[in-house]
Structure 1
């Protein structure tokens, strides 16, 4: 397992997830329910989603290298464009986008948090980036470790300090940083193809 791939994956997923709607969903859930239970449910959703993404990326890594690398670069570029567009439109994103949930306690909070985040993450940019990173680096354990660590960190930040963080750092800035990271990953992948 490459620590470089772990670190690169962590950085990529962290900056992509921080301005994402899943961060806001976790933040809102944590303001309604016990934060620890929300974090447990969200973490379980991320565990399942990351496992699926890494498994799919590993299967893709058996395909011919150049087409896979080109597809990964295209996904990184698409991610950069999407994050840039979201950065420009960040003022439209509100907490109203989060589905209303019933007043529940205990393990029902865990289940509710799991279901809300599992649905929000399905096909999300971070999941696609995880697939691309496994296909790019052929190190599924490193990508799994980096992606899951990033997702758990972002959800932890949302639970603990979400509202305060959004007061300090503007959401559109986080989108632009995420777009820059995706653009950097696309460039690294394309340079690797040319070599």
Structure 2
């Protein structure tokens, strides 16, 4: 593992996920079920989602360098625009987190949590970022470790700190900081594209 790549993935994914439906879906699940099985289910879903994104990004890296860095730049620019435009909107809702407290066994709650988060994360900005980082760096395990750690931190905050955290998050600021990070990564990818073409 390369620590700088792990940190890059962590620093990029964490602010993207803080104001995301992930935090609020985990929060809703934790208010309805015991926190530990929710965290296990959510963490497992994130692990699988990150593995899929890293695999997609690694496959992308098999293409010519100029094409890869151009695609990475576009992925990050799209993410930056989405984040910036959503900065003034409220938190994404977590209405799909399921109703009621039925089925309180550890495995059932973990399975419900896994299903909710696995479905909610498809095409998410963190997946785009993870795929882009996996394509940019030739370090899939490092990207996986950093991205998964960031997602576990976000879900852990939601599950174990709960409502107090959701009420105090400056969502607009977090989304704007994440958008700026995406622009920086896009700019680096553009520079790499130009170098690969010359």
Q: Tell me whether the two structures share a fold, i.e. TM-score over 0.5.
A: yes
TM-score, L = length of structure 1: 0.93
Cα distance in structure 1, aligned partners of 2:124 and 2:52 = 12
Aligned 8 A contact 2:45 2:117 in 1:
yes
Aligned 8 A contact 2:66 2:194 in 1:
no
1:159-178 paired onto structure 2 within 5 Å: 159-178=159-178
- Secondary structure of 2:11 counterpart: helix
Cα distance in structure 2, aligned partners of 1:76 and 1:45 = 23
Cα distance in structure 2, aligned partners of 1:154 and 1:99 = 16
RMSD: 1.5
2:103 match: 104
- Secondary structure of 1:98 counterpart: helix
What are the Cα deviations for residues 84-109 of structure 1, in whole angstroms up to 9, with x where unaligned?
Answer: 11112226x445x3343342212111
Aligned 8 A contact 2:29 2:97 in 1:
no
* Structure 1 stretches of 4+ moved >2 Å: 97-104, 165-169, 191-195
1:67-86 paired onto structure 2 within 5 Å: 67-86=67-86
1:1-195 paired onto structure 2 within 5 Å: 1-90=1-90, 93-95=92-94, 97-102=95-100, 103-106=102-105, 107-195=107-195
Cα distance in structure 2, aligned partners of 1:98 and 1:29 = 10
Q: What is the CA-CA distance between 1:124 and the residue it aligns to?
A: 1.0
Cα distance in structure 2, aligned partners of 1:136 and 1:90 = 32
- Secondary structure of 1:43 counterpart: helix
Cα distance in structure 1, aligned partners of 2:85 and 2:11 = 20
Structure 2 stretches lacking a partner, 5+ long: none
Cα distance in structure 2, aligned partners of 1:33 and 1:189 = 43
What are the Cα deviations for residues 26-78 of structure 1, in whole angstroms up to 9, with x where unaligned?
Answer: 01101111011100000010011111111111111111111111111111010
Structure 1 stretches lacking a partner, 5+ long: none
Aligned 8 A contact 1:101 1:112 in 2:
no
